[in-house]
């Protein structure tokens, strides 16, 4: 038979949410499969999208593997590790003859992941959970959200990388206890301590350094290698960016080999010249020991903030490519005096966790909940350049604090609030986030105005400010001037033009496909109406089919493919009895040996 497709699948499925690890060196996307989180591979099978952006000769921008392949030949037309500049979101980076802000560069990488996911699922993807270093401040988080907007991705949640890794390890299923996540990546370092109980992941404290990672190890090695090459070749190479980039890749290769071997070769071939130098693990360790030591101070502070000692930590989890270095593992083991978990691929574990968080948001994952914290204290500038803290670091988010402001001069209608983030006492030592201006205050004598300002850090770790005039009860308008980030208007202007087109292309295609399918079903129904089965059908069934038929026709002329699909399914269900009758009469006919 097969006249009618009988499909009881849920027609109007809510839109899929993917999980994304937007890393300094590499980025990955993952989704929640029936059996657990899975990495979304590109059409060519690649699981990793290198966080590299390249400008082509025709002026177009590409990201990922193709961009990375151009690094050595076109170092001035490529950008890498742009995540390190997210705290200066409004300062553009040079790429060839163009300029790109860090969020725009991030958007290119997100777009590559989005395209891969759309090819993978055959449907448009517009919603994502994106991970950020736990120690990212408000500006860096906002810049990441902006990158999503520019790429046409609605970032439903920013989740901290170490917390995502803890989710991926599924430690909640094995036991309850206290775990430390040591996350040493390409550009950032984080340490988080969590308490896990009955599926609740409560972060007790977090610390870190957003400018400390494998990149710093590379720079150390390159500096030495550049001098060495110059001595051997008798000419400096530091002005030749292509030579430096080729050397950088050779150095990284040697560094990676030293995680598994005791010796490695830095092997450089450039313009017909060759340079080879053996490097031992011992030398590498001597060089990087100070960098590793720099990760231990945040670990100790984090333990102290959690009011714990190493004895209270039940398990340690390692995340990030730099934790492959044996010396890093040893340092962590010494500090926490327990053997760390390394079962999951440290490059993939964060993306897998992001997919689980996406599952929590969509409702697919139940009983699991993350309670994360804000990594830095939030305060406002008060008299004498002093910072008054409002929300302390390691407060569970969302967190809020209310402050009251008044006017200092008769008839004053504006109040300026300077918001800062950091642990130090003075404004000059903290990070300026934004200036919020309360405008349109009713002019009254000095000190009479009563403005209540609510500072709220949301579940993404991003500050929201709202204000109310408590004398009039009216909402007070708040104007935000970010200190380093992009304004709303700037982000709006950056939203990729081509992108919105690409999306409408996909939608159009889906509508067209749905209409073709409808044509098939409507045609089949018309011919079924000529059969005996139709005449045997009770009147009420006929009426139900007719109603579903009319509704499908209405949806058919609209542009919502989901609606069309939903009404096709409805018609399918309404005509179940008809399909059954047709099947039976066909069987009867066959038994009698006669044709219908």
Partner 1 sequence: MDYYRVLGIDPKLQLNLNELQQLFYGRSRELHPDRFARAEASVRDAALQESSTLNDAYRTLRDPLQRAEYFLKHRGFDIGEQGTKEVPPELLEEVFELNMALEELKDGDESARPQLATARDHFAALLAQSDIELDHLFAAHDATPGEEPLKQIRGLLNRRRYIQNLLRDVNGYLSN
Distance CA 198, CA 172 (A): 7
User: Is 183 annotated in the active site?
Assistant: yes
Nearer to partner 1 (CB atom), residue 318 or residue 356: 356
Q: Does 141 bind partner 1 (CB under 8 A)?
A: no
SS3 assignment, position 180: strand
Distance CA 185, CA 22 (A): 12
| Contact code string over 25-64 relative to partner 1, x by CB under 8 A | ----------------------------------------
CB of 357 to partner 1, least distance (A): 8
Those residues with Cβ within 8 angstroms of residue 272's Cβ, 6 or more apart along the chain or in another chain = none
Nearer to partner 1 (CB atom), residue 283 or residue 462: 462
Q: Does 395 bind partner 1 (CB under 8 A)?
A: yes
Nearer to partner 1 (CB atom), residue 89 or residue 373: 373
From the list 456, 480, 495, 506, which residue makes contact with partner 1 (rule: CB under 8 A)? 456
Q: Does 382 bind partner 1 (CB under 8 A)?
A: no
Q: What is the CA radius of gyration of the chain?
A: 30
Q: Does 397 bind partner 1 (CB under 8 A)?
A: yes
CB of 125 to partner 1, least distance (A): 16
User: Is 161 annotated in the active site?
Assistant: yes
Those residues with Cβ within 8 angstroms of residue 591's Cβ, 6 or more apart along the chain or in another chain = none
Distance CA 482, CA 476 (A): 19
Q: Does 312 bind partner 1 (CB under 8 A)?
A: no
| Contact code string over 333-372 relative to partner 1, x by CB under 8 A | ---------------------------xxxx-----xxx-
CB of 391 to partner 1, least distance (A): 9
Q: Does 9 bind partner 1 (CB under 8 A)?
A: no
φ, ψ of residue 376 in degrees (nearest 5): -130, 150
In angstroms, how far is CA 129 from the centroid of its own chain? 5
| Contact code string over 458-487 relative to partner 1, x by CB under 8 A | xx----------------------------
Q: Of the listed 77, 138, 146, 161, which one is catalytic?
A: 161
Cα angle value 158/162/163 (rounded, 5°): 65
What order do you get walking across the sheet with 200-209 strand by strand? Answer: 315-319, 177-184, 189-197, 200-209, 369-371
| Contact code string over 413-452 relative to partner 1, x by CB under 8 A | ----------------------------------------
Distance CA 455, CA 177 (A): 33
Tell me the window of 58-66, 162-170, 249-257, 399-407 that interacts with partner 1 (CB under 8 A).
399-407
Binding residue count for partner 1, defined by CB under 8 A: 25
- Helix, strand, coil percentages, rounded to 5, for the chain: 45, 25, 30
Those residues with Cβ within 8 angstroms of residue 49's Cβ, 6 or more apart along the chain or in another chain = 26, 27, 28, 29, 42, 63, 64, 65, 109, 112, 113, 116
Tell me the window of 103-111, 139-147, 278-286, 395-403 that interacts with partner 1 (CB under 8 A).
395-403
User: Is 83 annotated in the active site?
Assistant: yes
CB of 363 to partner 1, least distance (A): 7
Q: Of the listed 112, 172, 183, 569, which one is catalytic?
A: 183
Site for partner 1 in 189-208 (CB under 8 A): 197-198, 200, 202
Nearer to partner 1 (CB atom), residue 207 or residue 394: 394
Q: Does 257 bind partner 1 (CB under 8 A)?
A: no
Q: Of the listed 68, 83, 145, 570, which one is catalytic?
A: 83
CB 228 within 8 A of CB 277: yes
Nearer to partner 1 (CB atom), residue 214 or residue 461: 461
Q: Does 65 bind partner 1 (CB under 8 A)?
A: no
- 123-145 burial, b at 16+ Cβ within 10 Å, e below that, comes to ebbbbbbbbbbbbbbbbbbbbbb
DSSP class of 75: G
Nearer to partner 1 (CB atom), residue 318 or residue 358: 358
User: Is 127 annotated in the active site?
Assistant: no
Q: Single out the residue of 505, 525, 509 nearest to residue 567, CA to CA.
A: 525
Q: Single out the residue of 453, 456, 343 nearest to residue 405, CA to CA.
A: 453
Nearer to partner 1 (CB atom), residue 369 or residue 409: 369
Q: For 150, how many CA atoms within 13 A lie in the half-sphere containing its CB?
A: 27
Q: Does 177 bind partner 1 (CB under 8 A)?
A: no
Q: Which H, E and C letters describe 95-121, residue by residue?
A: ECCEEECHHHHHHHHHHHHHHHHHHHH
DSSP class of 140: H
Q: What residues are annotated to the active site?
A: 21, 83, 161, 183
Q: Interface residues with partner 1 (CB under 8 A)?
A: 14, 156-157, 197-198, 200, 202, 360-363, 369-371, 395-401, 456-459
């Amino acid at each position: 038979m097969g006249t009618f497709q009988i499909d009881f699948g849920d027609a109007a499925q809510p839109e899929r949410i993917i999980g994304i690890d937007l890393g300094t060196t590499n980025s990955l996307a993952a989704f929640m499969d029936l059996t657990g989180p899975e990495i979304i591979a590109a059409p060519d099978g690649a699981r990793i999208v290198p966080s590299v952006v390249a400008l082509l000769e025709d002026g177009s921008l590409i990201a990922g593997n193709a961009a990375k392949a151009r690094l050595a030949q076109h170092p001035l037309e490529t950008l890498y590790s742009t995540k390190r500049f997210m705290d200066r979101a409004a300062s553009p980076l040079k790429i060839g003859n163009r300029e790109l802000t860090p969020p725009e560069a991030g958007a290119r990488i997100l777009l590559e992941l989005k395209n891969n996911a759309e090819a993978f699922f055959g449907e448009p993807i517009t919603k994502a959970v994106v991970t950020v270093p736990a120690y990212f401040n408000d500006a860096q988080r906002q810049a990441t959200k902006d990158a999503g907007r520019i790429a046409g991705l609605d970032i439903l949640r920013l989740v901290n990388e170490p917390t995502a890794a803890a989710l991926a390890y599924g430690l909640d299923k094995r036991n309850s206890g206290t775990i430390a996540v040591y996350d040493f990546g390409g550009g950032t370092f984080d340490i988080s301590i969590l308490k896990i109980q009955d599926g609740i992941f409560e972060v007790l404290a977090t610390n870190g350094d957003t400018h400390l990672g494998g990149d710093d190890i590379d720079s150390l090695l390159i500096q030495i290698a550049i001098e060495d090459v110059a001595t051997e070749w008798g000419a400096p190479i530091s002005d030749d960016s292509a030579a430096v980039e080729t050397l950088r890749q050779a150095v990284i290769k040697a560094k990676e080999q030293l995680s598994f071997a005791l010796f490695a070769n830095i092997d450089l071939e450039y313009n017909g010249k060759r340079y080879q130098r053996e490097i031992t693990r011992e030398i590498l360790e001597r060089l990087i020991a100070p960098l590793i030591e720099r990760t231990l101070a945040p670990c100790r502070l984090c333990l102290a903030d959690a009011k714990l000692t190493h004895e209270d930590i039940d398990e340690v989890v390692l995340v990030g490519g730099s934790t492959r270095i044996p010396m890093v593992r040893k340092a962590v083991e010494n500090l926490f005096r327990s053997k760390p978990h390394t079962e999951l691929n440290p490059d993939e574990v964060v993306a897998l966790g992001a997919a689980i968080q996406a599952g929590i948001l969509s409702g697919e994952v139940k009983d699991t909940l993350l309670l994360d914290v804000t990594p830095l204290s939030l305060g406002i500038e008060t008299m004498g350049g002093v910072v008054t803290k409002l929300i302390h670091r390691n407060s569970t988010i969302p967190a809020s604090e209310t402050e009251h402001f008044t006017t200092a001069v008769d008839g004053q209608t504006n109040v300026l609030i300077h918001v800062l983030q950091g642990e130090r006492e003075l404004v000059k030592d903290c990070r300026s986030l934004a200036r919020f201006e309360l405008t349109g205050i009713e002019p009254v004598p000095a000190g009479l105005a009563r403005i209540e300002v609510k500072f709220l850090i949301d579940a993404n770790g991003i500050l929201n400010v709202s204000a109310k005039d408590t004398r009039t009860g009216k909402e007070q308008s708040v104007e935000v001037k970010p200190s380093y980030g992009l304004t709303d208007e700037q982000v709006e202007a950056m939203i990729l033009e081509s992108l919105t087109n690409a999306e409408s292309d996909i939608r159009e295609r889906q509508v067209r496909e749905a209409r073709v399918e409808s044509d098939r079903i409507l045609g089949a129904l018309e011919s079924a109406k000529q059969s005996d089965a139709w005449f045997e059908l009770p009147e009420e069934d006929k009426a139900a089919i007719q109603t579903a038929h009319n509704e499908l026709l209405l949806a058919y002329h609209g542009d919502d493919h989901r609606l069309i699909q939903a009404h096709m399914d409805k018609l399918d269900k309404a005509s179940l009895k008809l399909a059954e009758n047709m099947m039976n009469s066909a069987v009867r006919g066959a038994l009698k040996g006669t044709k219908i």
